[in-house]
Amino acid sequence: MLKPSQAMVAASQWYAKLASGEANERDYAAWQSWKDASSKHAQAWQQLEEINQQFQQLPPKVGLTTLQKPAPPRRQALKQLAVMFSVGTASWYTYQEQPWRELLADYKTAVGETREIQLADGTQLYLNTNTTINVLYNNQQRQVELIEGEVLIKTGHQDTAQRNFTVKTQYGLVTALGTHFSVRNFADYTKASLFEGQIKVEPESNLGQNIVLNAGESINFTSTQLSRPEKARLTDAAWSKGILVAYAMPLAQFLAELSRYRPGLLRCDPAVAKLEISGSFPTQDTDAVLETLTNTLPVRIHTIMGYWTTIQAS
């Protein structure tokens, strides 16, 4: 399946901005400059307008006059684009592609950002850094779809409609049975950790296979397999308080965790990768954390243009 050109992606992003109701004259001037800067930009915008004319989903030609026109919310505008592109130019993209799923998601945190959300039943959701979720909350279901990242959940009062609270990932389904738990997506699997109550874990492609975890247990699962339950550590949820906890953690693993809260690239030389570190570190001040490493380990920091950071032997 063909992916959209960079110009078309940019055009859709400009549409979302201009139709969000938050654009000002400076935004419109920047959009005009972008469109005039390249024939590819102008062509992409023209294609967007043609789709508008065909499906009557976009507002009339976007220009400075739209400052006075009611505009749909950003997410609604983006979803209109997704519908048009999936129906009108199906070979171009689909809503199920990861970039669109992240762009159109209900909630998203940036790198280094965490966020707390409370649902109508009192359930609390804590989104870790670089996390994307959808929330399906209606008369039939209470479900969080974890697209990327990690979420910590404290379920609210017992649901009188008997709607199970579930977390769906690409690898399976986690069902809460009145509980406090976290779910984290890795590249090849999902990890569920339980701190209170019980949860049921079911792989995606084998929903007849499941396991019920008790408080203090964690498990990894793929779409076809469940690992053996292991001990869950309360420190695994310390990120919700802005803390990264390490106990005799190899430096390479520690930096991989810390990099989740820091823009750019963070790595270490193999010569120091196995050095161990213990302690509690603030996720909101990664520069201070790195400086601490130089005071506790025989290492030094080498940074290129503020983006590529390498921890080396001192």
* Per-residue model confidence as pLDDT tens digits over 179-238: 899 999 998 999 999 999 999 999 998 767 899 999 999 999 999 999 999 999 878 888
3-state DSSP assignment of residue 22? coil
What is the spatial distance between Cα 218 and Cα 152, in angstroms, rounded to a whole number? 13
Asked whether the beta carbons of 303 and 309 are under 8 A apart, the reply is yes
Q: CA angle 96-97-100, nearest 5°?
A: 90
State residue 294's pLDDT score.
92
Burial class (CB in 10 A: 0-12, 13-18, 19+), 44: buried
Domains annotated on the chain, with CATH: 6-103 (no CATH), 107-234 (2.60.120.1440), 242-313 (3.55.50.30)
Average pLDDT on 259-272 reads: 94
State residue 59's pLDDT score.
40
DSSP 307: T
What is the spatial distance between Cα 208 and Cα 226, in angstroms, rounded to a whole number? 12
3-state DSSP assignment of residue 16? helix
Q: Where are the alpha helices (DSSP H) in the chain?
A: 6-18, 25-36, 39-55, 74-88, 98-103, 251-258, 286-296
Average pLDDT on 256-284 reads: 93
State residue 42's pLDDT score.
86
**3-state class percentages of the chain: helix first, strand second, coil last, to nearest 5:** 30, 30, 35
Q: Where are the alpha helices (DSSP H) in 141-264?
A: 251-258
Query: What is the pTM (predicted TM-score) of this model?
Result: 0.67
Q: Walk across the sheet containing 150-154 and list its strands.
A: 115-118, 124-127, 150-154, 180-185, 190-196, 217-221, 230-231
